[in-house]
Amino acid sequence: MESALFGEVNAVEIIPSQPHEMDYIHNTYVELARTGVGSDEQRRNLTTLAPALIKRDGVDTVILAGTDLALLFNEY
């Protein structure tokens, strides 16, 4: 799927992850939102997902967005 992004990027091709990867991301996010606590395992699994997508699908960028992800990736 291609789309314009706020007039700055002419075209973006969105390549979704595999269904089992989407399920893991979703379930992890829901757990973070529910408990307010993240684990080293969750962080490790999400950070190893990005290189796999890059290698398998040839993507240039991987975006995971959500306020509760700060529970895993906030370095403060």
pTM exceeds 0.85: no
CA 2/CA 11 separation, integer angstroms? 6
What lies within 8 Å, CB to CB, of 57 at 6+ separation is 15
What is the percentage of the chain residues whose pLDDT exceeds 70? 84
User: Contact, 69 vs 29, CB < 8 A?
Assistant: yes
Q: What is the pLDDT of residue 5?
A: 57
**How far is the C-alpha of 49 from the C-alpha of 47, rounded, in Å?**
5
- Per-residue pLDDT tens over the stretch 36-60: 999 999 999 999 998 999 999 998 8
Residue of 76, 75, 50 lying closest to 63 (CA atoms): 50
